[in-house]
Amino acid sequence: MRIVDIRERSVAISRYADPAIPSGGLTTSMVTIVTDVVREGRPVVGYGFGSIGRFAQGGLIRERFAPRLLAAADGALADAAGTNFDPFRAWSVMMAGEKPGGHGERCVAVGTLDMALWDAAAKIAGLPLHRFSADRLGRGDSVPDRVQVYAGGGYLYPADDLARLAEEMRRLADLGYTRAKIKIGAAGLVQDLRRIETAAAQLAGPGNLAVDAMNVYEGPAALAAAAALAPLGLWWFEDVCDPHDFPTQTAVAAAYPGPIAAGEALFSAAEARLLALHGGLRPDRDILLFDPVHCYGLPGTLRIIEVMTAAGWPRQAFWPHGGHLFTLHVVAALGLGGAEVNPLSFQPFGGFEDGAIVSDGFASLPQRPGIGFEGRAELHRLFRDLA
């Protein structure tokens, strides 16, 4: 059982539903992993991409990690029965010889390939990924029928910001989302408060709205923002400061009574341990946002969950960043709190299968074998062209 071909392509993605709006040159890597397993006369192909919010990792994938998978000996990537790929064994092959540390970019390259490996293995098993991975982890009896979700978006518009933000939030509400998240920190507190008021008006109040500062605040500015936001009763206040600025985050947590969300820009179990020890967060109310793809894929995510639950965090505190189908499967399989969705931005990667319905803030789980990218016509076409 072998991998016979791996291809990568870097593609541009946009923070906005209208890709013509400048988006900072953001990219992601998409990969296809072609196996020697044949189903219905065709080789099984696994699809993956580098999630959302970092940049493409083509160099690391092509020069370092894909060659290790392609060079693996017969059976080195197979499960004990020899009937399917074992993504955990494949992960170990990718990480062979890697030194501790260096998590900022390497983790995304590994996570991108890991996604495609899980997709291929679930397809070979003929199961949707949430069912395959839950069975693999001994959690098959606890998979729900649907997952709580919220809509991500709300980036600052270069013109007509408030009007366009209101329109975006109305579209999300019409799609069945009861909660959403918008960005703050780039336009000053006065404008941020206007944005919050505008968005909350479309979502039945600020308790259904999270705000994401994208790690922009430092020291006194972080405390000033916390003081301004505290009376609003927001759902959560996300990524307040630099992800390693634990003193500032601790000070904000001491001053801000509402939930704080963190972890999106941390990528390893070692960093999670530092967050638990020094981040000042409160497991009874705060939120953890680790992105399964950016955290070395599912094997790395499981290590982070182990670290944080040992530190007293409940699984319901995990609301993984990502906004796509892979995150939805992971949340269901691992019994986490809920999933981010990007139904309008970062297309065609964000969101769920074409025609999928979100009802009262919950999404049903895809039933196609694998992740289900075949149910997204535009994205499936890109993967097929690559393969």
Q: Which residues are catalytic?
A: 183, 321
Q: CA neighbours within 13 Å on the CB side: how many for 104?
A: 2
DSSP 208: G
The b-or-e profile of 69-99 (16+ CB within 10 A means b, else e) is beebeeeebbbeeeebbbbbbbbebbeeeee
C-alpha to C-alpha distances, 372 to 114, 236, 299, nearest whole angstrom: 16, 30, 20
Pure H helices in the chain: 58-60, 66-70, 87-94, 103-125, 129-136, 161-174, 189-200, 219-229, 246-255, 269-278, 297-310, 325-334, 377-386
Torsion of CA 374, 376, 379, 380, to 10 degrees: 20
Number of Cβ within a 10 Å radius of residue 264:
23
Please state at what angle helix 269-278 crosses helix 246-255, rounded to 10 degrees: 50
232, two tokens: 């609003």
Cis ω for the linkage preceding 257 (within 30 of 0)? no
With a CB cutoff of 8 Å and minimum separation 6, the contacts of 93 are: 68, 69, 72, 76, 77
What does the block give as tokens for 116? 């495609």
